[in-house]
Amino acid sequence: MGRRRFNDSPISAKQDELAKQEEELRRQMEELQRKIEEAPKLAQAEQERQRQERIARASTRRSPLDSPDILQDSRHGEDLFTERPRRPRRAQRRQARLRLLISCLAVLVLVAIVIFLTIQMFNHL
């Protein structure tokens, strides 16, 4: 007769416990790996949602008749687009530089005329 195996020995119980822990850890690893793979997609979706919210908040116009004591949400106060001064377009900047140059030239011409007339006046005296 052969030896009888004991299925409930401490070693086999420990092996069963370790196998269960290993399976639980594998399951957790798979779940975490799935979350890691989904994280960039979720972050991008969250950024897009926040961008859409900021655009919606910035594009809403308040009537001058609205009460001035309406409390603004302080969490979103610094990222409103309407508080930032608008930067002029390239064509507008070019046009402003041209106007400044023409104004400066006109002032120089007028100063030259005044100086010329002053010299002529002193010469005729």
> Do 94 and 52 sit in the same domain of this protein?
no
- pLDDT reported for residue 20: 94
- Boundaries of domain holding 109: 88-125
- Top pLDDT among 5 and 107 is at 107
Position 4 in a domain: no
Provide the domain count of the chain.
Answer: 2
pLDDT digits (tens, 9 = 90+) for 24-46: 999 999 999 999 999 999 999 99
Position 66 in a domain: no
- pLDDT reported for residue 30: 95
Position 44 in a domain: yes
Position 73 in a domain: no
> Do 56 and 95 sit in the same domain of this protein?
no
Average pLDDT over the chain reads 82
Q: Mapped to the 3 state alphabet, what secondary structure does the chain carry?
A: CCCCCCCCCHHHHHHHHHHHHHHHHHHHHHHHHHHHHHHHHHHHHHHHHHHHHHHHHHHCCCCCCCCCCCCCCHHHCCCCCCCCCCCCCHHHHHHHHHHHHHHHHHHHHHHHHHHHHHHHHHHCC
Position 40 in a domain: yes
Position 67 in a domain: no
Query: Does residue 60 register a pLDDT over 90?
Result: no
Query: Does residue 5 register a pLDDT over 80?
Result: no
pLDDT class of 67 with cuts at 50, 70, 90: low
Position 1 in a domain: no
Average the pLDDT over 67-93 and give the result: 65
Position 95 in a domain: yes
pTM exceeds 0.95: no
> Do 55 and 93 sit in the same domain of this protein?
no
